[in-house]
Amino acid sequence: MHPLRRNDIQVFSLLGSQATGLANAEYDLTVVSLANKDARATKLPNQDTDPSRLANKYLDSVADHKVRHRPTSNLPFHPIVLSLGGMMNGSTTKVFASWKRAMTRGTYNLMLKGLSLCLLLARVRSFEL
């Protein structure tokens, strides 16, 4: 028997996406270490060793895995993949850009501060191991 897997965030707009700028959707938040075994095993073609492209390739692979293994739902799904240092994959950058357009500046900044604190705590926990 497999445990029930749920997504981390569900957005339901009672006023509709026209009024709020946010459409009904599900989001799954994942924070990964770029120093883990899978990240270190990621390779780029043709001897390309650009660290940024290498990290993006790994983050994209994590997002793709989330999409393939998501819980059944009729809502649009968006994986949010961040590294412990705060690096985002391409689709996560687009999600954050859409949230920035839909939220007031204060609300968006408060969300970013909360997320920054969560990432800091995750980094501390990873060093305690």
Instruction: Report helix angle 105-128 to 90-102, nearest 10.
Output: 140
What local confidence, expressed as pLDDT, does residue 6 receive?
62
Q: How confident is the model at residue 122 (pLDDT cuts 50, 70, 90)?
A: confident
Q: How far apart are CA 93 and CA 38, in angstroms?
A: 22
Element (H, E) at 96: helix 90-102
> Over the stretch 12-40, which tens digit does the pLDDT of each residue have?
665 555 545 566 788 888 888 888 888 88
Which of these, 81, 104, 106, 118, lies nearest to 22 by C-alpha position? 104
Which of these, 79, 73, 114, 116, lies nearest to 95 by C-alpha position? 79
Span of 5-14, 51-60, 89-98 with lowest mean pLDDT: 5-14
Instruction: Please enumerate in sequence order all residues whose Cβ is within 8 A of that of 11, keeping only pairs 6 or more positions apart, or say none.
Output: 22, 23, 24, 25, 26, 27
> Over the stretch 71-121, which tens digit does the pLDDT of each residue have?
788 888 889 999 988 899 999 999 899 889 888 899 899 988 988 888 888
pTM: 0.75
Which of these, 73, 86, 74, 72, lies nearest to 29 by C-alpha position? 86
